[in-house]
């Protein structure tokens, strides 16, 4: 069971959240080629290690936020708001 | 390779089982190979076997970071079926089922295929319509599917609770579907490939793929650098990881898929029961254990453990549909890392790198595809062009938009 700390509601069980996949994916311009568009639409980082991902506090405040989580240990390194830049994990306090 | 037979069993029994030979060779690693296959699971071993057997390539290595069949080949729930919706998938998966039907003879190794049928349940009138459309599509693809009323379902599975939270309105069965023994499939292919001269190298992790002017030249491993003219990736769960080594991205999300077994009981379930609404599937193994599972854990993971919420969901679904099992103890629970693609169709064929091939994105259903996956990938590697059965499964479909959307059409929604 993951325990995620919603930036607005505090720590809750995984069951209250729904998962939104990879974060920081930027939509290419309208002049993008088919290859660029396909890369944006389908290809994933899918790292074995730190994954920057989106979560929705579905059965809570209903707001989205970002999480930096290790996909092997499931350790959560950072929780930060949408629109914020990727945190530098080495510099981040792991509380 | 000494063939197994009734005679060999008797002879070895009479001599106290002291003279059985190792099932496959443990060769030294050579400096270079014509073909290096990364991943000694079912798909990798089957590819090596068919390359040697049908395409007369002999200088082949299958590398694995762990042991033979120790990844998803040893973690799945052993189900074989070809009840797919789209003609491309149906043709591919039925080819696989047909190969399974003769696999024990082909490999001289008993894979214990039991065609006990796979039953898909419908729980509402709308789902009944959907399932009828699905079953008819299967029949149009020239594959067997038989519609069952609730009474016929009850007759087939006497322990079922038709009047559960989502009442059973009917279902359809593919009688040629069933289960087989997953370890035997890996061992059988390993033994047959080894006998054809394929080197199976265990405990040898690939750490890099060497490319010169857009063409593969070899791999770096934990046991040194190996030259290779052609390389094929068959690493369920780690496809993104290997693709990254070769410098390209794939549309794959790795997630945990759980399964579990109960304590063994007397035979009481003689088919595979699946439900996409209640979200579970269950069969009884030859040892008497109930083997069951459901959906994948929702988030990216390489952990091979499985979370508690999904485990609870799976168990709740099982005891709702088959209440008699509520008193059983769960003996083991585990998870495998599955590569989910956007259209839940595998990624097979060539890659942006010349002479580098890929077989991945098998999602939750790679086991049933092992024989056809090996057969078609061997053809693809030998001829440097996709086998006709997998022409629509290439990476380029994500650019052209010609997806083969099996998401809503396969056994359990995922």
pLDDT in tens, B32-82: 999 999 999 999 999 999 999 999 998 999 999 999 999 999 999 999 999
pLDDT given for residue A18 in this prediction:
96
| CA–CA distances in Å: residue A6 to residues A17, B23, B308 | 9, 54, 20
Q: In this predicted model, what pLDDT tens digit does every residue of B145-165 receive, in sequence order?
A: 999 999 999 999 999 999 988
A with B: how many residue pairs have Cβ under 8 Å apart? 63
Q: Are B219 and B226 in contact, with CB atoms under 8 Å apart?
A: yes
SS3 B96: helix
Q: What stretches of chain A show up as alpha helix (H) in DSSP?
A: 34-41
pLDDT given for residue B413 in this prediction:
46
Min Cα distance A26 → chain B (Å) is 16
Most B CBs within 10 A among A46, A47, A49, A56, hence the mutation to make, goes to A46
Matching residue, tokens 């003879």? B105
- Distance CA(A42)–CA(B89), nearest Å, equals 21
Query: What are the phi and psi torsion angles at B49 (to 5°)?
Result: -60, -50
The number of helices, as runs of H, and strands, as runs of E, in chain A is 1, 6
Q: What is the mean pLDDT of residues B92-120?
A: 97
B252 near A CB under 8 A: yes
- Distance CA(A81)–CA(B303), nearest Å, equals 26
pLDDT exceeds 70 at position B260: yes
- Using a CB–CB cut-off of 8 Å, the residues of A that contact B are 1-2, 14-15, 18-19, 21-22, 34-35, 38-39, 41-48, 51, 53, 69, 71-74
Strand partners, A22: A53
**Which of B364, B359, B373 shows the shortest CA–CA distance to B344?**
B364
Packing angle, helices B182-195 and B370-383, rounded to 10: 30
Name the CA dihedral angle for B391, B392, B395, B399, rounded to a multiple of 10 degrees. Answer: 130
CB A53 to CB B240 under 8 A? Answer: no
Q: In this predicted model, what pLDDT tens digit does every residue of B307-347 receive, in sequence order?
A: 999 999 999 999 999 999 999 999 999 999 999 999 999 99
Q: Are B360 and B250 in contact, with CB atoms under 8 Å apart?
A: yes
Which residues of B are less than 8 Å from A22 in CB distance?
300
Q: Are B321 and B158 in contact, with CB atoms under 8 Å apart?
A: no
- Comparing alpha-carbon positions, the chain A residue that sits nearest to B306 is A1
The partner residue sitting opposite A43, judged by closest CB among B249, B300, B301, is B249
Query: What are the phi and psi torsion angles at B14 (to 5°)?
Result: -65, -25
CB A71 to CB B300 under 8 A? Answer: yes
Min Cα distance A91 → chain B (Å) is 24
Matching residue, tokens 């934990």? B222
Pairing of strands A64-70, A76-81: antiparallel
Residue B2 DSSP one-character state: P
Min Cα distance B152 → chain A (Å) is 37
pLDDT exceeds 90 at position A93: no
The partner residue sitting opposite A42, judged by closest CB among B238, B240, B342, is B342
Which residues of B are less than 8 Å from A69 in CB distance?
299
Strand partners, B330: B262
Q: Are B294 and B317 in contact, with CB atoms under 8 Å apart?
A: yes
Q: Do you know the residue count of chain A?
A: 95
Task: State both tokens at B405.
Answer: 């959307």
Min Cα distance B246 → chain A (Å) is 14
Domains of chain B (ranges, CATH numbers): 23-79+182-251+343-400 (3.50.50.60), 118-175+254-340 (3.30.9.10)
Query: What are the phi and psi torsion angles at B191 (to 5°)?
Result: -65, -45
- Distance CA(B98)–CA(B140), nearest Å, equals 18
Which residue has better confidence, B395 or A90? B395
Which residue has better confidence, B411 or A74? A74
Q: What is the mean pLDDT of residues B14-27?
A: 94
- Comparing alpha-carbon positions, the chain A residue that sits nearest to B248 is A43
Residue B200 exposed, middle or buried by CB count within 10 Å (0-12, 13-18, 19+):
buried
| CA–CA distances in Å: residue A59 to residues A14, A79, B90, B277 | 10, 18, 40, 22
Query: What are the phi and psi torsion angles at B312 (to 5°)?
Result: -60, -40
SS3 B311: helix
Kindly report the pTM of this predicted structure: 0.95
**DSSP H or E run through B291:** strand B290-300
Q: What is the mean pLDDT of residues A6-20?
A: 96
Min Cα distance A66 → chain B (Å) is 13
B414 near A CB under 8 A: no
The partner residue sitting opposite B309, judged by closest CB among A14, A51, A73, is A14
CB B300 to CB A74 under 8 A? Answer: no
Domains of chain A (ranges, CATH numbers): 3-25+38-91 (3.30.2270.10)
Q: Are B254 and B240 in contact, with CB atoms under 8 Å apart?
A: yes
């Amino acid at each position: 069971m993951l325990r995620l700390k919603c930036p607005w509601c505090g720590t809750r069980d995984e069951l209250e959240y729904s998962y939104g996949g990879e974060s920081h994916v930027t939509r290419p311009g309208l002049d993008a080629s088919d290859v660029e568009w396909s890369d944006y639409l389908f290809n994933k980082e899918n790292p074995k290690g730190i994954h920057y991902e989106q979560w929705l506090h579905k059965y809570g405040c209903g707001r989205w936020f970002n999480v930096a989580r290790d996909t092997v240990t499931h350790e959560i390194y950072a929780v930060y708001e949408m629109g914020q830049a990727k945190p530098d994990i080495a510099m981040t306090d792991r509380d | 390779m000494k063939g197994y037979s009734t005679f060999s069993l008797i002879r070895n029994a009479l001599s106290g089982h002291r003279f059985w030979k190792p099932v496959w060779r443990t060769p030294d690693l050579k400096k270079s190979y014509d073909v290096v296959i990364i991943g000694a699971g079912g798909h990798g071993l089957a590819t090596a076997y068919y390359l040697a057997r049908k395409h007369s390539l002999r200088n082949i290595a299958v590398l694995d970071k762990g042991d033979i069949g120790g990844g998803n080949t040893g973690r799945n729930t052993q189900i074989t079926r070809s009840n797919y919706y789209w003609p491309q998938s149906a043709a591919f998966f039925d080819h696989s089922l047909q190969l399974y039907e003769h696999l024990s003879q082909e490999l001289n190794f008993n894979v214990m295929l039991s065609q006990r049928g796979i039953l898909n349940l419908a729980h509402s009138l709308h789902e009944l319509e959907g399932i009828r459309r699905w079953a008819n599509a299967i029949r149009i693809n020239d594959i067997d599917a038989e519609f069952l009323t609730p009474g016929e379902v009850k007759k087939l599975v006497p322990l079922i609770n038709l009047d559960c939270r989502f009442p059973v309105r009917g279902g359809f069965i593919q009688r040629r579907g069933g289960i087989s023994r997953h370890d035997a499939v890996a061992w059988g292919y390993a033994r047959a490939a080894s006998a054809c001269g394929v080197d199976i190298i265990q405990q040898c992790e690939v750490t890099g793929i060497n490319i010169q002017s857009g063409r593969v030249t070899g791999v770096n491993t934990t046991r040194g650098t190996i030259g290779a003219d052609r390389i094929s990736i068959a690493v369920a769960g780690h496809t993104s990881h290997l693709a990254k080594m070769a410098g390209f991205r794939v549309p794959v999300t790795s997630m945990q898929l759980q399964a579990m077994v109960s304590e063994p009981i007397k035979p009481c379930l003689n088919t595979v029961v699946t439900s996409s609404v209640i979200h579970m599937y269950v069969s009884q193994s030859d040892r008497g254990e109930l083997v069951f599972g459901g959906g994948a854990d929702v988030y990216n993971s390489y952990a091979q453990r499985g979370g508690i919420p999904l485990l609870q969901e799976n168990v709740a679904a099982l005891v709702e549909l088959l209440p008699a099992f509520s008193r059983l103890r769960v003996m083991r629970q585990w998870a495998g890392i599955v590569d989910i693609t956007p259209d839940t169709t595998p990624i097979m064929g060539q890659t942006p790198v010349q002479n580098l091939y890929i077989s991945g994105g098998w999602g939750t259903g790679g086991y049933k595809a092992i024989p056809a996956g090996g057969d078609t990938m061997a053809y693809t590697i030998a001829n440097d062009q996709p086998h006709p059965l997998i022409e629509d499964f290439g990476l380029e479909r994500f650019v052209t938009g010609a997806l083969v959307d099996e998401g809503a059409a396969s056994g359990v929604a995922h």
